Structure 1
Amino acid sequence: MSSYLQRVGRAGRLTGNAFILAFVLGRGDQLPKIGDPSSVINGAVRPPATYLNAVEILQRQYTAFVIDQLAADGALPETQYAPKVLNDSEPGSFLDLVITSAEQHVDQHLARFTGAFDSLNEEVVSGLSDWARPVGSEARSSQLARTLLDASLHWNQELERLRLRTKAIEESLPELKRMAELTKESEDVSAHNAARASLRLAKKQAGQRRTEFWVAALERYGVLPNYTLLDDRVQLDVGLTWVDPESGEFAEEQRSYERGRSRAISEFAPGAHFYAQGLDVTIDAVDLGTDGERVRALAFCPDCGFARDLEEGAVVTCPRCSSTAIADVDQRLRVVEIEHVSAEVRRDESSISDSSEDRERVRFTVQLAADLDEANVSAQWYVDEVGFGCKFARAMTLRWVNLGRAGLGATRFIAGAEHASPLFRLCKGCGKLDREGDTNNAWEHRVWCRYRKDRSEHTDTIALTRTLTTQAIVLRVPPSMTVGDALSMPSLSAAIQLGLREVIGGDPDHLQLSTMAEPVPGEDVNNLALLIHDTVPGGTGYLADLADPSRIREVFEQALAALERCDCANEPVRAACDKCLLPFAPGGDVGSVSRTSALHNLQVLLQYRDGSASDWSTTEVDPGVQDPESHLEQWFRKVFKERVTALGASLKEIPGEWGVDYPGHAAGSAPDMVVAAPATRRRHAAGLRARGIGRPRPTGRDLHGRVRLPRVAGASATGRRRDEAPGPARSRLPRRRADVGRPAPSAGRRSGA
């Protein structure tokens, strides 16, 4: 709404006439606008939020406060441009004066800064104090000093990188010019023109760094607060070339665009298409630093979100979930934190035309690795008999890992999930995407790259990462909501976001929900859990209050009430609508959420009995993973889906509670079991008979009145003997590691009987 009003206010300034047309997408959080178009032009403008208890924002504000105090006292030299601030940190320099004052007068600065606030969380104040104080009497030992010195280091590295690039281009230009004049071939002429454009871009960027206002430079490195307060930016540099149709002369232009890292991890990945100002730009290079200095090697746990920088030493066992598979070579990835990407395109080839009505969208596999360190868990509680629990982590490291184009490449396990991961094969010299393996082509490099004319390739296979350390809540739910049910977790996640909106009174734009593999003490497998995390670095402090049982229960109750009164409750053909769950569908996949599924899960978590919720009885002692439903029923759903899909059948999941029965004969046959939906009483025979194994007899019923299978010696839960050769469509029961296809345990363990 605010964006619309800004644009309307600017319209018609030249002639007094204007026509404004508002477009909205038919998916995601814009779906409610489809149902209520007038809200686009006649809605409420929400004021920007300020998060006083956000640790990293306070750190940046505190640094600005110290600089302001020095400037007010006349202790800082007058300066305008970044080199005077970031060029060095020698005694008497700008940085030295700031660090010295911040460390020598830390008590005075902290008292005056925190005294300007009406109230600040004590834990936040303590954390700010630890960050600002030096270690003992050692100079420049505070984390504040390290932040300023790192900014100076990175600024000088950027300039040095641009200097080396400029030198390489200038050295290559004479030969490129000679070849262009000699052969007159388009490839050589284009290479010469591209080199000229790259030289101008490098000089322009170096000039911008030297003439950048010093405050803007410190904002860019996260030292001072910027206007967004929330997300660091990633820059895309586009070198645009064309031949002027009138003069026939070569022309070039440099353009730069920015995106927050949360979006750039996929939108700015190599091979992605970026559309702006009438251009279709294919991103083709990542800044790897001088001689690949920004590339690191990490070991990722296959079963949880832990990762270790191998420069800190090798890891044999995961310290979170005790998995030894983290030591496997396949778990090592070379990664680069996405900060700067580039593209070089010809304007005539990249201009958007009418050849296609849709934009080309390249899908990438981005896996979240959420590292839950028990040392950072400051509160936890669990509900008896439900299998539900909550942990609040005052600091959690979240890594989003872009593993390359979706559906391609060899598979690997990261953070409890299995993905095809082709990764990105980039040139070690210039960072350009290598498109043809085993062959080195000049067009696969920037014209200034030292490997451009080599016979052999010099590539590095990497993954892109985005890292955020912030506050988070981990919600443990029963496995019956996670195993073999594709609707359950997305629907519950969307319902919780709906409940947060009802409780907060607006969209919780600083909170995001996802799933993660939660290591459970005393369990040999990890549990799939819901993750609510702050998008603000360091956290805003809101989740610390939300982690209370009464607040979580209020969110659930508000979500349940909103779903019950939603208009789509009277429309059986609609799984959900734009007024309830669809705006919060994960990834915009509206087919993954169901109002009925969300209602059922909320009623289970609220312990509904006889139509009303029961009070929670909580404990702080972790009881482990609990679930009233048998493991066999859970894995039956999963394996049944996998097998019918492997046989070529189309499968549509309809929400509802299913049960298993053994009726003897049905429809003239003797099935092993019958799967029934109680709401409709429709019954489906499941032919899982095994040769040589009689029909199993029930041994009892679980809490839901459903039967349990006996343990049959020598048989798997799919109804075949372990020593029997598997058929072409055979599915194995995976271990319950966040619902992924890991190797199966023994038949007796997986039976759940």
Structure 2
Amino acid sequence: INHKDIFNFLSDEGLLPNYAFPEAGIILKAILFRKDDSESEAPSENKKRKYEKMFFEYNRSASSAISEFAPDNNFYVDGRKLTINQVDLTTSQIAKWRLCPNCSHAQLEDSISDKAACPQCGSPGWADAGQVRNMLKVQMVYSNMDYSKSLISDESDDRSSKFYCRQMLVDVDEDKDIHKAYRMDNDEFAFGYEFVKKAVLREINFGESDIAGERLTVSGIEEVRKGFKICKFCGKLQPAKGNPEHTYTCKARNAQLDSDDAYEECLFLYREFVTEALRVLVPATTMDSTQLRTESFTAAFMLGMKEFFGNVDHLRACLSEVPVADADYRKQYLVIYDSVPGGTGYLKQLMQHDNAMTDILEKALAVLEDCSCKNDPQKDGCYHCLYAYRQSNNIGQISRSRAIRMLKAILSGKDNLEMITKLGNIPVNSLFESELEGKFIAALEQMGHETRRITITKQLVNNKEGYLLKVGSCLWEIEPQVMLDNLYGVPVQSRADFVIWPVRTPEGQKPVAVFTDGFLYHKDKVADDTLKREAIRRSGRFRVWSLTWKDVL
């Protein structure tokens, strides 16, 4: 079908489970040359010296080759150091893509009829001409080298590799491709998950990592994305300095062409496949600047998947950010996807049993609570539990105790399982509010300096978990979630996020009622908020602080 193997076509479309047709790899063809010394006579002026050529071919999975086989990188194999210096432009063609600055959606420029706003998230930034970039779905690369320069000794430790700016974009049409979704509320935050029958995963290599250069925003992340400069005709990588390089037969080799006509100044490389995926709402938004919650949750979930299924080597995980309308923060999804195009059916099994997700989380919790590392106060995880998650690159950001707390909070709502249309309908403002409150406590402590020392320690305040604030010689108690009503002389009832009670302070100090306001939750109730806070102020018993995210950063 369309020059494609029928079994690959059916599996890619999700009509057949794919157990034997992995994602197509990327090929490296190495062409090594050396002078042919077999001729007895020396070459004359009119006789060109002959070269002997040796050909080698290597194949790697696209997931690793998108970096390993990237232009200007070094690939070490069979005692050789092969430098990739050419991209094949015959197996695939360069095309213009429009990349959304706000979400993971990308589309071929020629297929877009309405460019005013992103069709997925509605971002007007979609219309920016700077979001249109040339990209190549790389399938084959070359290394053309002198044979002697490619040789390395076994004793050599000089094995350098490049670091590239890579980003995985998980493109999901929420109106068409969500098969089933569930919500599982608990007392602390909203939680849910959904099965995506057809997710487009597009990993882009934006060029070598750098801190200087043109910045481009893709899916909410602004970074320097230099791309690769290659010849438009032969695909040869162009050096940053020096003369241009071309293949012997390239028509740009001797032609007088303008640089715009001969070179692709900023080319992005990508791989793409369609598969099934499970999206899980991570109990943290992008405003939680630490990776502790996301990394701990990811490792714990993959631990549960391994306990539930056994071998899950074909399943991969990545974090995907999704914009929230009228908000400064973004939702974070843990995306578990099948590395086999079309999927193997593993993830779909989870949606066929109502208790499957609960079983996964409970199995992970059981392993964490029984792990021997709990007896070592110096350890907060080990390779018998969370560190065994082989995709974890940030072990320092993985916490067994934090994972246990999150799993217990999620499982406290296991009896509240409810089928919903899609995960996007779950509001996360309560989660954002809790993060904002946590930032407020951290911001207070950071206000200290040499002449005004500030320390905050946890302690019980009015029989609930609170904080003791020490500012110089003054002491305050910080009590969270305090209901202010007629008992405090406040005629209009309201709940303060914190009340800072004076314990040992100069005479006349009033308690401070603190409200940490997130825009999304409060934007439609400004009048009501103003009424409540004015009632607190007029009581004469409190000072009132209304803080936003920008105030506490």
Q: Shorter-chain TM-score: which interval?
A: 0.7 to 0.9
Are residue 371 (structure 1) and residue 174 (structure 2) matched? no
- Deviation per residue, 1:162-201 (Å, 9 max, x gap): xxxxxxxxxxxxxxxxxxxxxxxxxxxxxxxxxxxxxxxx
- Deviation per residue, 1:713-737 (Å, 9 max, x gap): xxxxxxxxxxxxxxxxxxxxxxxxx
Q: CA deviation at 1:675?
A: 4.7
- Supply the AA of the counterpart residue of 1:238: A
Distance 2:108 2:61 in 1: 24
Given that 1:711 and 1:748 are in contact with CA atoms closer than 8 Å, whether structure 2 keeps it comes out as: yes
Identify, as 1 or 2, the structure richer in strand: 2
Partner SS, residue 627 of structure 1: helix
- Supply the AA of the counterpart residue of 1:326: W
Partner SS, residue 630 of structure 1: helix
Give the total of aligned pairs.
Answer: 466
- Supply the AA of the counterpart residue of 1:421: R
Correspondence for 1:501: 306
Correspondence for 1:529: 333
Distance 1:522 1:594 in 2: 32
Q: 1:320 aligns with which of 113, 117, 120?
A: 120
Given that 1:632 and 1:751 are in contact with CA atoms closer than 8 Å, whether structure 2 keeps it comes out as: no
Given that 2:183 and 2:419 are in contact with CA atoms closer than 8 Å, whether structure 1 keeps it comes out as: yes
Given that 2:299 and 2:392 are in contact with CA atoms closer than 8 Å, whether structure 1 keeps it comes out as: no
**TM-score, length-scaled by structure 2:** 0.73
Are residue 254 (structure 1) and residue 59 (structure 2) matched? no
- Supply the AA of the counterpart residue of 1:304: C
Distance 1:126 1:432 in 2: 35
Q: CA deviation at 1:677?
A: 5.9
Cα pair distance change 1:329/1:286, threshold 3 Å: same
Cα pair distance change 1:677/1:255, threshold 3 Å: farther
Cα pair distance change 1:262/1:685, threshold 3 Å: farther
Are residue 284 (structure 1) and residue 85 (structure 2) matched? yes
Correspondence for 1:423: 227
Q: CA deviation at 1:505?
A: 2.1
- Supply the AA of the counterpart residue of 2:233: G
- Deviation per residue, 1:665-694 (Å, 9 max, x gap): 9998375xx55467999989899xxxxxxx
Q: CA deviation at 1:243?
A: 3.4
Cα pair distance change 1:701/1:676, threshold 3 Å: farther
Correspondence for 1:60: 7
Deviates more, 1:624-633 or 1:335-344: 624-633
Given that 1:320 and 1:519 are in contact with CA atoms closer than 8 Å, whether structure 2 keeps it comes out as: no
Cα pair distance change 1:263/1:519, threshold 3 Å: same
Distance 1:350 1:685 in 2: 65
Distance 1:334 1:481 in 2: 29
Given that 2:101 and 2:126 are in contact with CA atoms closer than 8 Å, whether structure 1 keeps it comes out as: yes
Pick 1 or 2: higher relative contact order, CA cutoff 8 A, min separation 6: 2
Are residue 332 (structure 1) and residue 136 (structure 2) matched? no
Distance 1:480 1:286 in 2: 39
Given that 1:273 and 1:283 are in contact with CA atoms closer than 8 Å, whether structure 2 keeps it comes out as: yes
Given that 2:169 and 2:203 are in contact with CA atoms closer than 8 Å, whether structure 1 keeps it comes out as: yes
Cα pair distance change 1:424/1:710, threshold 3 Å: same
Distance 1:488 1:585 in 2: 18
Deviates more, 1:702-711 or 1:623-632: 702-711
Q: 2:147 aligns with which of 347, 350, 366?
A: 347
Are residue 238 (structure 1) and residue 30 (structure 2) matched? yes
Q: 2:190 aligns with which of 366, 370, 387?
A: 387
- Supply the AA of the counterpart residue of 1:605: I
Q: CA deviation at 1:576?
A: 2.5
Distance 2:350 2:33 in 1: 53
Q: 1:588 aligns with which of 393, 408, 412?
A: 393
Correspondence for 1:303: 102
Cα pair distance change 1:479/1:283, threshold 3 Å: same
Deviates more, 1:462-471 or 1:484-493: 484-493
Given that 1:301 and 1:307 are in contact with CA atoms closer than 8 Å, whether structure 2 keeps it comes out as: yes
Given that 1:383 and 1:616 are in contact with CA atoms closer than 8 Å, whether structure 2 keeps it comes out as: yes
Distance 2:82 2:233 in 1: 22
Partner SS, residue 588 of structure 1: coil
Correspondence for 2:452: 669
Distance 1:677 1:350 in 2: 61
Partner SS, residue 604 of structure 1: helix
Partner SS, residue 355 of structure 2: helix
Partner SS, residue 382 of structure 2: coil
Distance 1:505 1:433 in 2: 44
Partner SS, residue 288 of structure 2: coil
Gaps of at least 5 residues in structure 1 are 1-56, 64-123, 130-224, 608-612, 638-657, 688-694, 713-745
Deviates more, 1:675-684 or 1:585-594: 675-684
Q: CA deviation at 1:536?
A: 1.4
Correspondence for 2:43: none
Q: CA deviation at 1:60?
A: 0.5
Are residue 467 (structure 1) and residue 272 (structure 2) matched? yes
Cα pair distance change 1:670/1:531, threshold 3 Å: same
Partner SS, residue 514 of structure 2: coil
Correspondence for 1:398: 201
Q: CA deviation at 1:328?
A: 1.4
Distance 1:125 1:466 in 2: 15
Distance 2:469 2:251 in 1: 66
Given that 2:515 and 2:547 are in contact with CA atoms closer than 8 Å, whether structure 1 keeps it comes out as: no
Given that 2:182 and 2:417 are in contact with CA atoms closer than 8 Å, whether structure 1 keeps it comes out as: no
Aligned residues: CA RMSD: 4.1
Are residue 273 (structure 1) and residue 74 (structure 2) matched? yes
Partner SS, residue 298 of structure 2: helix
Correspondence for 1:85: none
Given that 1:698 and 1:709 are in contact with CA atoms closer than 8 Å, whether structure 2 keeps it comes out as: no
Given that 2:284 and 2:294 are in contact with CA atoms closer than 8 Å, whether structure 1 keeps it comes out as: no
Distance 2:73 2:366 in 1: 42
Given that 2:27 and 2:59 are in contact with CA atoms closer than 8 Å, whether structure 1 keeps it comes out as: yes
Given that 1:237 and 1:342 are in contact with CA atoms closer than 8 Å, whether structure 2 keeps it comes out as: yes
Distance 1:701 1:339 in 2: 61
Cα pair distance change 1:570/1:358, threshold 3 Å: farther
- Supply the AA of the counterpart residue of 2:51: F
Cα pair distance change 1:272/1:513, threshold 3 Å: same
**TM-score, length-scaled by structure 1:** 0.55
Distance 1:414 1:348 in 2: 42
Given that 2:380 and 2:399 are in contact with CA atoms closer than 8 Å, whether structure 1 keeps it comes out as: yes
Correspondence for 1:728: none
Cα pair distance change 1:519/1:541, threshold 3 Å: farther
Q: CA deviation at 1:252?
A: 1.7
- Deviation per residue, 1:227-276 (Å, 9 max, x gap): 95222121111001123678787322011110111111111111111111
Identify, as 1 or 2, the structure richer in helix: 1
Q: CA deviation at 1:571?
A: 2.2
Cα pair distance change 1:228/1:257, threshold 3 Å: farther
Deviates more, 1:415-424 or 1:702-711: 702-711
Cα pair distance change 1:484/1:553, threshold 3 Å: same
Correspondence for 1:597: 402
Q: CA deviation at 1:61?
A: 7.2
Q: 1:359 aligns with which of 153, 159, 166?
A: 159
Cα pair distance change 1:560/1:284, threshold 3 Å: same
Distance 2:335 2:14 in 1: 24
